[in-house]
Amino acid sequence: MAVLIMTIAATALLVIDITIVSIALPAIQADLGGSLAAAQWIIIGYTVTFGALQQPAAALSDRLGRRTMFTAGITVFTLSSLACGMAPSALALNLARLAQGAGAALIMANALPMLAQTYEGQRRNMAIAVWGTTLGAAGAAAPVIGGLLLAVADWRALFLVNVPVGVAALVLCRRVLPADAGRGRAPIDWLGAGLLVLLLTAANLGLTLGQWWYGAAAAILLAAFLAAERRAEAPVLDLSLFRIPTFVAASLLAFVSRVATIGSSVYYVLSFERQLGLTPLATGLLLSAILVPQLLTGLVAGRLQARFSPSVLIAAGSAVLAAGGVHLALTFSSGASAPDFLPGLILWGVGGGLAATPKTTLAVNVVEKERAGMASGMVNTMLAIGAAAGVGLLSLPYTAGGTSLVMYTASGLAVLTAVIALVLVRRKDLVTGAPAAR
């Protein structure tokens, strides 16, 4: 239990920091000055390093040790949070945010592998369920937390609040995590790790900024990375994993589901404030209709994995999510008031919670514990890329038909996740965890 609590405490902070800063951008710019682009990089810099470093960090932790890497991540995140809170200029804040994203990547890259290493069987599924639903709650609560902190303090409190929690997590980490076991003598694939960092950085910048030359650079780096991995003695990403249909499913599900959920959230939150005239705090309270069902259903899904296959749970959750999206789309097009959105929001939360836990466990259940970092790193990377891509891709239906068309599109993507789960997830691919029979 101590490992689970420590993992939740550390990872909840970094999830909150993805979105909490957005509501404080006007206050930050008014205090520190700088251009709009500089203010935007306070968010972009964090998300880029967070997304780019997860897969290399996760794979390297399989060799360097999870306690070592996790502790390093907490240390970097805590110190950089302190630097953010004390930043004298926009440039200093941006540099500190880059470092904060790097620390966050080290933490997240090792969180799921540590749970997979510590717990077995159904206890592992429940630990991952509690961890995943808590992170979902943290992300959903971030706007409310930010609003409350800004109401009683200034924007620096958004960063400084991380420091005491980070120190406590660091102390707990040293007490409860076992020392790293001796690692094998396989050489570390530094070339592959470097190319992968550059590749993911280019991909994240391309999706975040919408500039084609980042995409071209990513394509070139992808070719170089694949060539390097085929020759590496101990590759940072074992390409043979992509011959396992269930691992491919885990990666695709992570990407598509984040496009649908995170991508759409930007537009329905915007519409709640602009179309309904809600304040940020009122919007956050309305979104609790997603948060509470998602928390409860996520925990239930952890227990259901002992009886039902991940494919069935993911498909069922995705179907409920799609129904919620259709209801929200119809409600947005009718010009309704805030209470009318509650049924759709509740369905959105129930579906997301039911599907999230089995999607999270898939990657680590197709490999041995020793390679859990590599497997989970790919899924975490696809989650980050999917979130970035979702905002850009769903801008097209938003421009064409408003939030209603965005939610119809998100519902279609939810149906796609159900199809992926039913077609690609197979019993024989799973090494540990819940059954995959359909």
Which domains, ranges and CATH numbers included, belong to the chain? 1-179 (1.20.1250.20), 238-438 (1.20.1250.20)
Rounded to two decimals, the pTM is 0.79
Q: Which residues contact 366 (CB under 8 A, 6 or more apart)?
A: 241, 244, 246, 247, 250, 375, 429, 430, 431
pLDDT value of position 434: 45
pLDDT value of position 326: 96
In three-state form (DSSP H/G/I as H, E/B as E, the rest C), the secondary structure along the chain is CHHHHHHHHHHHHHHHHHHHHHHHHHHHHHHHCCCHHHHHHHHHHHHHHHHHHHHHHHHHHHHHCHHHHHHHHHHHHHHHHHHHHCCCCHHHHHHHHHHHHHHHHHHHHHHHHHHHHHCCHHHHHHHHHHHHHHHHHHHHHHHHHHHHHHHHCCCCHHHHCHHHHHHHHHHHHHHHCCCCCCCCCCCCCHHHHHHHHHHHHHHHHHHHHCCHHHHHHHHHHHHHHHHHHHHCCCCCCCHHHHHCHHHHHHHHHHHHHHHHHHHHHHHHHHHHHHCCCCCHHHHHHHCHHHHHHHHHHHHHHHHHCCCCCHHHHHHHHHHHHHHHHHHHHHHHHHCCCHHHHHHHHHHHHHHHHHHHHHHHHHHHCCCCHHHHHHHHHHHHHHHHHHHHHHHHHCHHHHHHHHHHHHHHHHHHHHHHHHHHHHHHCCHHHCCCCCCCCC
pLDDT value of position 38: 67
Q: Which residues contact 220 (CB under 8 A, 6 or more apart)?
A: none
**What residues of the chain score a pLDDT lower than 50?**
434-438
pLDDT value of position 284: 72
Nearest Cα residue to 357 out of 135, 113, 132, 123: 132
pLDDT in tens, 379-418: 878 887 887 778 778 888 999 999 999 999 999 999 999 9
pLDDT value of position 51: 78
Gap between the Cα atoms of 37 and 29, Å rounded: 10
Contact 11, 111 (CB under 8 A): yes
pLDDT value of position 435: 45
